Amino acid sequence: MSKRHPNPRLAKIHRNYSVEEIATLYGVHKNTVRNWVKDGMPTNDDRRPMLILGRDLFAFLQAKRVKNKRPCQPGEIYCVRCRTTQKPAGAMAEYQPLTGTSGNLVGICPSCESMMYRRVNLAMLALVGTGLDVTLVQALPHIDESTQPCVNSDFN
């Protein structure tokens, strides 16, 4: 089973690993590990079997993980389809509460017109939504909060 983002903390820093051991540890193919070596992961020497220090493996995977991050600036939401951060279309977004303290900031991508979501703490909404016209969605009242509750839908 292939993993898209291998966890660097699985590597023991005081151990040497072969290509096969790394492939088994992270659930990837041996050629993936060899591609990591071609991409700059250091090895012990040029002899066979190729050995990789655990601290070098950890550092390489950690650097790869940091390089792939795309932090959002205030007023931006990450679009999964475009793989970039950008302001939503019309600089408009909607806050949909999930719990009492957090929710999703939802907007439309101006490039591909797909939905973009960003998890936001309600206390940080003003900072994160800088430059955006944020609409707060109000939930429909529950039946016990209504002034005239009626459970029978046949009456108008």
Of the candidates 2, 9, 67, 66, the one whose C-alpha atom is nearest the C-alpha of residue 33 is 2
Cα 40 to Cα 25, 32, 34, 43, 86, distances in angstroms: 20, 13, 10, 9, 31
**101-112: per-residue pLDDT in tens?**
888 889 999 999
**115-147: per-residue pLDDT in tens?**
998 888 888 888 888 888 888 877 665 666 666
Q: What are phi and psi of 146, to 5 degrees?
A: -75, 150
Q: Which pTM does this prediction carry?
A: 0.55
- Over residues 69-87, the mean pLDDT reads 84
- Over residues 86-112, the mean pLDDT reads 89
Q: Average the pLDDT over each of 35-49, 54-68, 130-144 and give the range with the smallest value.
A: 130-144
**6-36: per-residue pLDDT in tens?**
888 888 989 999 999 999 999 999 999 999 9
Residue 128 near residue 74 (C-beta atoms within 8 A) = yes
Q: Which domains does the chain have, with CATH numbers?
A: 8-67 (1.10.10), 77-136 (no CATH)
- CA angle, residues 96, 102, 107, in degrees to nearest 5: 35
CA distance 36 to 33: 5
- Over residues 27-51, the mean pLDDT reads 88
